[in-house]
């Protein structure tokens, strides 16, 4: 997968931003600013939603970086439903005001990718991990450790975008996808991983260290 530069505004939003501003402009010209004001506010909301700022990448070895901006809603021992082994799941919930660009938590190769159609219930709920529309990446780190990173659609999210394909090598912090309008990202880690976050913590994609791998 080719690297993606940081244009500040995510390319996945360019069409939506242009459409929102064009509609507001047309209404402004033909009906006046008062009628257009709600549309200008909507256009500004769409613009802020698709912001995609560059991030500083921590250089520490054996760390797991946050794959998304948001709030931690789950840290629990469970079974990885994709690789079928015991794991620790760390979940990041993104509200509509968070940056929705998704970034790789580790350096590694995408071994497999799975897509599942599903529901669009509130992504902050635990059952969203297995019932909502989702896209899962099995990433084998450069040291041979298996990590699963799952994009999960939310209540109003209608499109999961993933640019990574099996065989691609992802660098930690590398942008690999986007979820439009509210969602969550789950990361399944080895059971001996040292977790550095707690439920309720705010995290930021790439800059926050979620956990540290043993060894």
Residues with active-site annotation = 183
Report the Cα 49 to chain-centroid distance in Å: 13
Cα angle for residues 162, 8, 120 (degrees, 5° grid):
40
Q: Collapsing DSSP states into helix, strand and coil, what is residue 30?
A: helix
> Is the distance from CB of 55 to CB of 36 less than 8 angstroms?
no
CB-based contacts of 78, cutoff 8 Å, min separation 6: 86, 87, 88, 89, 188
């Amino acid at each position: 997968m080719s690297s993606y530069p940081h244009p500040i505004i995510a390319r996945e939003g360019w069409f939506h931003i242009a459409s929102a501003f064009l509609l507001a402009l047309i209404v402004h010209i033909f009906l006046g600013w008062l009628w257009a004001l709600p549309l200008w506010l909507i256009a500004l909301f769409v613009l802020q939603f698709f912001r995609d700022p560059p991030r500083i990448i921590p250089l520490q070895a054996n760390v797991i970086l946050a794959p998304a901006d948001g709030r931690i809603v789950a840290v629990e021992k469970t079974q990885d439903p994709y690789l079928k082994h015991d794991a620790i799941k760390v979940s990041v919930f993104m509200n509509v005001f968070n940056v929705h660009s998704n970034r790789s938590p580790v350096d590694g190769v995408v071994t497999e990718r799975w897509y599942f159609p599903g529901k669009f219930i509130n992504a902050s709920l635990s059952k969203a991990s297995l019932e909502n529309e989702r896209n899962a990446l099995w990433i084998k780190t450069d040291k041979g450790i298996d990590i699963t990173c799952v994009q999960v659609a939310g209540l109003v999210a209608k499109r999961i975008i993933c640019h990574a394909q099996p065989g691609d090598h992802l660098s930690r912090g590398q942008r690999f996808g986007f979820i439009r309008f509210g969602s969550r990202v789950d990361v399944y880690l080895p059971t001996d991983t040292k977790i550095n976050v707690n439920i309720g913590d705010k995290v930021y994609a790439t800059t926050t260290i979620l956990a540290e791998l043993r060894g």
